[in-house]
Amino acid sequence: MIFKNRRIILLGLSLLLASQTQAQTESCLPFLSGLLDQNQMVAPAKLPHPQQTTYILPATPATAQWGVFDSSLKPVLTINPGDTVVIETMAASDNQVVPGATIEQIMKIQNAVPNRGPHTLTGPIYINDAEPGDVLRIHFNKIVPRAYASNNSAYNKGLFPKVFPNPSVRYYALDVKNKKMQFLPGITVPLAPFPGIVAVARAESGQYDSIPPGPFGGNMDLREMTEGTTLYLPVFRKGGYLWTGDSHAGQGNGEIDLTAIETAFQEFNVTIDVIKQKPLNWPRVETPTAWIAVGYDKDLNKALDILKQETIKLIVDVRKVSQEEAEKMMYKTWNCPISEVVNGVQGVYCMVPKNASAKAFVLPKIDNQQFFVTYAKNADIEEAMKTASMAMLKKIAVTKKMTMSDAYVLASFAMDCRIGVYHAGEKEVHCMMAKNLWAS
């Protein structure tokens, strides 16, 4: 009798769950198919430039893709040079990496399709008059992140996959108004929102994984690309085809645990222009105080070689000097961080100050009043980076009585690793962590 009653109860629960699931399915209508009507995406004109058009580009299933750049797609928006676009972005994996998603769920969806990155990309935007050999000038007018963020690791990813083999995910509330985030009680991380990905279409046709960066831009994870900066991207295909995603609220120089302070943008407001026939081999960035050259390669040592070449070219262009003089200027003002070491293709960059009398950034080797500091040198810059980074994790774990896992994530958010002036021989890496992250 008891067994029979239990069967009746279980059958009743099954019918109730089935009924709830059917009701939920019926209430979730499919998204409208087809592209959005561009005429309905125009914002009201603003003075003093009423002739310049501002478009609103929402992030929806019709305007975003998961983890691939595909130049065969129809543009979701077509603009003229000089137009402004207010872009919305989604969180990773089609906006599914949000508070409540477990690491098991995240790993399952991210590994479901080969050669697909985790990033949700809004675009592509077609820019009239953009031709191969031109450059897109993209000025970041305003960046507003949503009010929460995530950070997750993965199997065999990050700088130390054997030390931290177990994937995990964490979620954070962002104080967007004051640009700060509580990491743990007594530990506050400043926010500096920037897009991890801004990309144009490659010259090659086809569909490409969003993870590796390249000359087309993409997953550069370059934290200096904040509000008020300008990104210059070479054009490889007619119309440029511009995407953005992988929106960050902040990141350290290194991003060592795989991800940054991952979020989405309520507003990524950009003005896009075309510079005719001024070809670039690699992206460049302009901040209010500096020019930035980049270098990316699977081998961090080769990335550094590319970086030095590109920095010299940049100085030649902006200072109008010879290559020999530009090389001298590069070493005189040397300030070259490591952007990321986790995307398969790794990145470095150099900041060339607009102030011609500026001197090289002084890199400490030992702790000082402002920073915890670790230092390493090696003929292989990646090994130097690993040694200096691990030393930092151990230092703050012991000094601040943190777990190594907490130190790993915090370092991905706030550690600043830079390359010592390099001519030849061993390469030096200096890593810094601000002491004011901890409440006194």
Task: Give 230's strand partners.
Answer: 139, 286
Question: Is residue 315 domain-shared with residue 211, that is, in the same domain?
Answer: no
In a domain, 120, yes or no: yes
Asked whether residue 354 carries a pLDDT value surpassing 90, the answer given is: yes
Is residue 20 predicted with pLDDT exceeding 80? no
Residues 318 and 276 in one domain: no
Same domain as 256, residue 152? yes
Q: At residue 4, does pLDDT exceed 60?
A: no
Residue 22 lies inside a defined structural domain of this protein: no
Asked whether the predicted pLDDT for residue 168 surpasses 70, the reply is yes
Is there a domain that residue 290 lies in? no
Q: Are 236 and 242 in contact (CB under 8 A)?
A: no
- Residue 293 in any domain: the answer is no
Does residue 14 have a pLDDT over 70?
no
- Confidence at 9, pLDDT banded by 50, 70, 90: very low
Same-domain check for residues 272 and 318: no
**In angstroms, rounded to a whole number, what is the distance separating the alpha carbons of residues 312 and 321?**
10
CB 265 within 8 A of CB 194: no
Residue 200 shares a structural domain with residue 271: yes
Q: Are residues 192 and 316 in the same domain?
A: no
CA-closest candidate to residue 213, choices 246, 261, 252, 240: 246
Q: Is residue 298 part of a domain?
A: no
Same domain, 217 and 156: yes
Residue 294 in any domain: the answer is no
Q: Residues 123, 216: contact at Cβ < 8 Å?
A: no
pLDDT tens for 223-267 read 999 999 999 999 999 999 999 999 999 999 999 999 999 999 999
pLDDT per residue as tens digits for the range 40-58? 999 987 766 666 899 999 9
Residue 175 lies in a domain: yes
Inside any domain, residue 315: yes
**C-alpha triplet 206, 209, 212: angle, nearest 5°:** 120
Q: Tell me, yes or no, whether 275 and 348 share the same domain.
A: no
Instruction: Compute the average pLDDT of residues 117-121.
Output: 98
CA distances from 296 to 193, 218, 229, 300, 355 (A): 22, 11, 20, 7, 26
pLDDT at 439: 87
Question: How many structural domains does the chain have?
Answer: 2
* In a shared domain, residues 280 and 230: yes
Same domain, 280 and 332: no
Residue 108, both tokens: 């399952």
Domain of 405: which CATH number?
3.10.28.20
pLDDT digits (tens, 9 = 90+) for 299-337: 999 999 999 999 999 999 999 999 999 999 999 999 999
Tell me the CATH number at 94.
2.60.120.580
**Pair (100, 163) in one structural domain:** yes
101 with 166, same domain?
Answer: yes
What domain range is 339 assigned to? 310-437
